Structure 1
Amino acid sequence: MSKADTSQLPRPRTIFDQSLSVGVEEEFLLVDATTREVAPLAPEVLATKSDGRFDLQAELTDFQVEIATPVCRSMAEVRSELVAARGALGAMAAEHGTRLVATGTAVLGEVHPAPLTDDPRYRRMAVEYGRLIHDLTICGCHVHVGIPDEDAGVHISNHLRPWLPVLLALSANSPFASGRDTGYASWRYLTWSPWPSAGAPPRFASAEEYHANTQLLQSSGAAMDAATIYWDIRLSANHPTVELRVCDVAATVDEAVLIAALTRAIAVMALSSRVPALDVAPHLLRAALWRAARDGIEGTNVNLATGELVQASTQLHALLTWARPALEASGDFDLATAAVDRMLLDGSGAERQRRAFRQRGELSDVVDLLIRQTASK
């Protein structure tokens, strides 16, 4: 961004004394309690009588279900809502002989072509995008951060953009797909990549420029509407939020809370200054995201300032250091550092899946691990 462009940035705000709102959406797979293979029973599970407290939703395929927290102000609130919603949905799944698992891809079972949810929108997507839609039995974690206006949302997106590879590596939780090790820590991200409106967003100077470019995607047919702009970061079509979409669904509640805390902290840091975000070339960012999907947090990634390979864990600590003022202001610094230390000690979701497989060479052991992690409090 040139000096002339700084007029488009939000005015400096002192917001360390007031946390931005945050919400989390999590997508899960259903697996048969006996075979451990994916089970297309989402309609039956979601039709189960519940107290109506939780926002439980269908997803693209009958293998998937989704939860969404209400608007939250603290990470303690996010955690409480996720524990309760996972518990409620897990109990509903058990009534139909299935279990809830938090993993980005199906470990066992055939998912091609996926049984699509009976919804006019999904049927239209199948017509418009053909075979692409049949590969999307994948589950992510989406974090919404409240924004004062759309220009602020674009400014936050620009600052989130250089951290996308770190957040993807941190969340990587999909090394297996349909009975095989893919060689990637996040096969979900690679599966999603061919979609015509997916990937890292461009860097925009304003909300006006953002909307002009999303309209081009819609005019071309690459997106049916604003809701099918599937960039790794986007302005929400339905809420006054900026939405991070790059992450695999977190294996545990605490890891989902960590992702939410870091995302909000980046947003707070962005709105607290007029310093432009690092302007990363699209091809370099794409390479870094591929590397993050391949290696996860245990391997290396691209230093976007130099183009050199560095340890992904080093980048994660750099994010903690940079975002520390925002994390401390919201009371989340100790939470975030403890969660990072625990992950680096115990391994990422992807590493834990592979470790479970190595013990006996049985993929059912991986699914058993996922069931336990998903239900852990």
Structure 2
Amino acid sequence: MIARRPPTFGVEEEFLLLDPVSGHPVPAAPRLLRLLRGRPGPGAELMRYQLETATRVCDSAGQLHAELLRLRHMASEAARVCGCRLVASGTSPYPTPGLAALTDDLRYRELARRYPRLTAASGTCACHVHVGVPSREHGVQVLARLRPWLPTLLALSVNSPVENGRDTGWASRRYPSQARWPTASPPPVFTDAAAYDRALGKLIGHGAALDERSVYLLARLSPRYPTIEVRVADVGADADTALLLAVLVRGLVATALTEITAAKPPPRPCRATILAGLDAAARHGLTGLAVDPWTGARAQPWALVHHLVDHTGRALATLGDAETAAGLLDALAARGTGADRQRAAWRRAKSPADLVTELARTTWQAADEPVPVTTA
């Protein structure tokens, strides 16, 4: 039986602010945030050419979709007012200014002081899915059951093939960039929340992380909310991709909670196999070979997607998300991943302006009408 009340969920998305002509990042976030002050959702990110949005806590896929569209359209309109474009891409297609664009925040300044090279390369954009859990003890057990699925979630979300004005050959160039951080890895299997806390304390004590927020596990207990936070994905090319990711993650969490109630032990694929799967997902997305997390053998990525859907089928049906997930997956299969679409746009573009225009349109195009933004 799933928890009495369906798990709530929410999404944090990170976006780029790009010049509409040159395609280069624009450090316009402070002005944009002044423009949007008082509106729920937008916030500062590591670099001033980035913007973060956070949905409200949602109970249903429909509610979450409306939130994703609201925030994307509001931020896109504000970006236009500020003379730039909001673009959902895991990496900037054109060179970034590095630490010169660092957001003026005490914590960010300390990160840059301790880890200058890593911080300078971290102006990348992810999608973080939060799902409520009954307790931190439940959360730790849920994390153990999410580990095998992290590569498949990454493969579905890949959206950063272009960086520094070239096709990198990766479907998610963001992933290897972020994986350079010493804590940006799949979570180990912890016996309980106390063991989780001890492990994080050691990482911080040994200098691998500044604080709990900068322990960048690909799935973790949120340092701020009563949720688990899945951080493996690139920002979705469009709101539908973000919704698909969130629906599947909630289905995985609900399935895990059912298994915990039934005292079913978690799977224990080895760390090396999960890392190999993540590397394959980042390189190929859904178009090349994947790694089966249980056997280490080569697999077709869509076979692993279907396995995930089968694994979560009962939970998705109970949550009312089965039809939504099926429809979104069909759409993704038809149009390709964000990486596939960005590569196609890159090949079509005759100039940086063409590329930015198409990526910006994809970012907001699912919304119906713009949210009015007045200048401050």
Give the TM-score, by structure 2 length: 0.94
Match of 1:55 among 33, 38, 41: 41
Displacement of 1:278 in angstroms is 1.6
Distance in 1 of aligned mates of 2:116 and 2:94:
24
Q: Which amino acid aligns with 2:340?
A: E
Give distance in 1, aligned partners of 2:65 and 2:144.
27
Distance of 1:323 and 1:49 partners within structure 2: 38
Q: 1:105 touches 1:176 (CA, 8 Å); kept in 2? A: yes
Contact 2:21-2:352 at 8 Å conserved across structures: no
User: Compared with structure 1, are the counterparts of its residues 35 and 360 closer, same or farther at alpha carbon in structure 2 (3 Å cutoff)?
Assistant: closer
C-alpha distance in 1, partners of 2:77/2:352?
24
| Cα shift at 1:254 | 0.9
> Structure 1 pair 314/364, CA: closer, same or farther in 2 (3 Å)?
farther
Seq. identity, %? 41
Q: Which residue, 258, 261, 282 being the options, matches 2:244?
A: 258
Amino acid at match of 2:298: L
Structure 2 contact 142–256 (Cα < 8 Å) conserved: yes
Residues 1:149 and 2:138 aligned together = no
Task: Provide the rounded CA distance (Å) in 2 between the counterparts of 1:366 and 1:336.
Answer: 29
Alignment of 1:1-377 (within 5 A): 14-15=1-2, 18-50=5-37, 52-113=38-99, 115-273=101-259, 274-360=263-349, 362-377=351-366
Equivalent position amino acid for 1:44 in 2: R
Contact 2:155/2:286, CA 8 A, preserved across alignment: yes
For 2:143, what is the secondary structure of its paired residue?
helix
Q: Is residue 114–residue 136 contact of structure 1 (8 Å, CA) maintained in 2?
A: no
Tell me if structure 2 keeps the 8 A contact 1:354–1:366: no
- Offset at 1:36? 2.3
Q: CA deviation at 1:33?
A: 2.1
Summarize deviations over 1:255-313 as a string: whole Å, max 9, x none: 10100000000000001022222201111111111111000012211011221111111
Q: Letter of the aligned partner of 2:189 in structure 1?
A: R
Aligned to 1:11: none
Cα 1:102–1:44 shift into 2, 3 Å: same
Aligned to 2:285, the other structure's residue is in SS state helix
Q: Is the 8 A contact 1:169 1:296 kept in 2?
A: yes
SS in 2 for 1:234: strand
Structure-2 separation of matches of 1:360 and 1:226:
42
1:297 aligned counterpart, secondary structure: coil
**Distance in 2 separating the partners of 1:293 and 1:178:** 18
C-alpha distance 257-49 of structure 1, shift in aligned 2 (>3 A): closer
Q: Bigger shift: 364-373 or 137-146? A: 364-373
**Which residue is 1:9 aligned to?**
none
Deviation at 1:17, TM superposition (A): 5.8
Tell me the CA shift for residue 344 of structure 1: 1.2
Q: Cα distance 1:177–1:156, how it changes in 2: closer, same or farther (>3 A)?
A: same
Offset from partner CA, 1:134-160 (integer Å, 9 cap, x none): 001100000111111111101111111
- The C-alpha deviation readout for 1:300-330, integer Å capped at 9, x for no partner, is 1101122111111110011111101011111
Specify every segment of 5 or more residues in structure 2 that has no aligned partner in the other structure, as ranges. Answer: 367-376
What is the TM-score with the length of structure 1 in the denominator?
0.93
Name the SS of the counterpart of 2:255 in structure 1: helix
Root-mean-square deviation (Å): 1.4
- Aligned mates of 2:157, 2:137 — CA distance in 1: 28
Indicate conservation of the 8 Å contact 2:144/2:266, yes or no: yes
SS in 1 for 2:115: helix
**C-alpha distance in 2 between matches for 1:372 and 1:182:** 23
CA shift in 2, pair 1:222/1:253, >3 Å:
same
Give, in angstroms, the shift of residue 112 of structure 1. 3.4
Where 1:29 maps in the other structure, the secondary structure is strand
Q: CA deviation at 1:108?
A: 2.0
